[in-house]
Amino acid sequence: MQKNTKKSSIKPVARFNIKGIDNKKILNGVLPVRGAKNAVLKAQAASLLFSDEICINNSPLIDDVIKMNELLEDLGVEVKRMSERSFVFKQPKTFKTNLDPKIAKSFRASIVLTGPLLAREGKVSFPHPGGCVIGKRPIDVFLDAFIKMGAKLKIEDDRYILEAKHLKGIDLFFKVPSVTATETLIMTAVLINGTTKLYNCACEPEIESLADFLNLSGAKISGAGTPFITIKGGKKLKRGVFNTPPDRIEAGSFAIIAALCGKNLKIANCDPNHMHAILCVLENAGVDVKKGSNYILINAPSKLKPVDIKTHEYPGFPTDLQAPVCVLLTQAVGSSSIFETVFEDRLNYTNDLVRMGANIMNCGPHRAIVSGPTPLHGREMESLDLRAGLAFLTAALISESSSVLHNINNIDRGYEKVEERLNKVGAEITREN
């Protein structure tokens, strides 16, 4: 049994050297998918709802998970690594109520700790959460909900301070179906006496897996995975085990790579039932996709067809796959359009693809027209955020010449040692620290 390593999230800035395979369809073999980042982070945070301990299995070994462990340890939780991908979280009697500003500012999911801490300890103070720079990313929905539940809010020295002797169950309509707000309010309501009803909730599968985990541990949550969720709360949960589901965004990212340069490439340990939107786009683009119960097998076609993409909350096309799929569209014969509806700044990466040779016309912050096919040329570039970083890696992979991708720490936040897995199926990517 090892203790969670404390300073492991502070890493030197690393880079990838990527050999371009010049659009050849040569990646062959099996690409295994790890546990879902956006599910495991919420299960880690949910450990605050328990009086004893929880175990998380199939955790991806990514930087955001390590940061969440560090943040929990700083609050007083004992985090122990039981095996490669399993961690146990043991709760202290009382928690510290200040989220460490340096760690909390470095990733968005830190916000989900605020509600459980407020409900459990009557107080929480925290900085504005950080994460990928893809838009404004306000937290007004969270703050409004906590105030409606009875908390008092102060803002001092860039910190939000919330206090409440007792929170009360409420009826709440989300003005936007926010994923982390839905998850945070579910968790908060589990500890509050009374019933909370949430309307216009996000419906992402990660929300359902969180609710299933909490229900199996004794919570009373109904409707998760639909826009209307009811929580009957009032007491701490005792113990629980969370088996992290496969990462549908990682699986989708790999499916896009396979659609560009895969030859019988198998994406293994995934759940195709959570991937309808991306698989539908690939099929419409002319990609040969075979689905099994927990895998997909993909053959890149000689010619890709253009497709129009509009991002949408689940089950629509995920915003997290918008940048990777844009790379695919640069190779389609004809014009495709992209309409990003969730975040304001999620088309910034297109400038770099244009410098690689892509023909992309931005029509405002939300729309782009991609015309193809255009050969891509390798170059030196920087990962702007997690998903744009993966898009650049994909573009570099199919380029005519080699590329250098800096700041790959952004990719490590969500994809575990992605180069090792891609190299096993025929890519040539080296990491340099």
Binding site for ligand EPU (CB under 6 A): 37-38, 41, 108-109, 132, 135-142, 176, 178-181, 202, 319-320, 342-343, 386-387, 414
Q: Is the dihedral of CA 67, 70, 75, 77 positive or negative?
A: positive
* C-beta closer to ligand EPU: residue 204 or 419: 204
Which of 132, 203, 270, 326 does the annotation list as catalytic?
A: 132
Task: Work out the end-to-end distance of the chain between its first and last CA atoms, rounded to an integer number of angstroms.
Answer: 29
132 an active-site residue?
Answer: yes
Q: Is the dihedral of CA 406, 410, 412, 415 positive or negative?
A: negative
* C-beta closer to ligand EPU: residue 20 or 177: 177
* C-beta closer to ligand EPU: residue 142 or 349: 142
- Measured distance CA(374)–CA(380) in Å, rounded: 19
Q: Minimum distance between the CB of residue 299 and ligand EPU, rounded to whole angstroms?
A: 28
Helix (H) / strand (E) element for 18: namely: strand 15-18
Q: Minimum distance between the CB of residue 250 and ligand EPU, rounded to whole angstroms?
A: 10
Q: Minimum distance between the CB of residue 414 and ligand EPU, rounded to whole angstroms?
A: 6
Place of tokens 């096993």: 424
Rounded to 10 deg, the angle between the 114-121 and 140-148 helix axes is 20
Q: Minimum distance between the CB of residue 137 and ligand EPU, rounded to whole angstroms?
A: 5
Helix (H) / strand (E) element for 212: namely: helix 205-216
- Measured distance CA(251)–CA(295) in Å, rounded: 9
Show Cβ contacts of residue 380 under 8 Å, excluding neighbours closer than 6 positions. 403, 404, 406
* C-beta closer to ligand EPU: residue 138 or 334: 138
b/e code 178-203 from CB counts within 10 Å (16+ = b): bbbbbbbbbbbbbbbeebbebeebbb
Q: Minimum distance between the CB of residue 249 and ligand EPU, rounded to whole angstroms?
A: 6
Q: Minimum distance between the CB of residue 106 and ligand EPU, rounded to whole angstroms?
A: 12
At residue 23, the 3 state secondary structure works out as coil
Q: Quick check: bond before 373 cis, omega within 30?
A: yes
Closest CA to 210 of 144, 140, 315, 116: 116
* C-beta closer to ligand EPU: residue 2 or 158: 158
Place of tokens 């991002």: 311
Q: Where are the beta strands (DSSP E) in 95-215?
A: 123-127, 152-156, 159-163, 171-173, 194-199
* C-beta closer to ligand EPU: residue 332 or 347: 347
- Measured distance CA(143)–CA(152) in Å, rounded: 10
- Measured distance CA(403)–CA(197) in Å, rounded: 51
Both structure tokens of 337: 């359009």
* C-beta closer to ligand EPU: residue 343 or 392: 343
At residue 103, the 3 state secondary structure works out as helix
Both structure tokens of 421: 């897995």
Provide the annotated active-site residues.
132
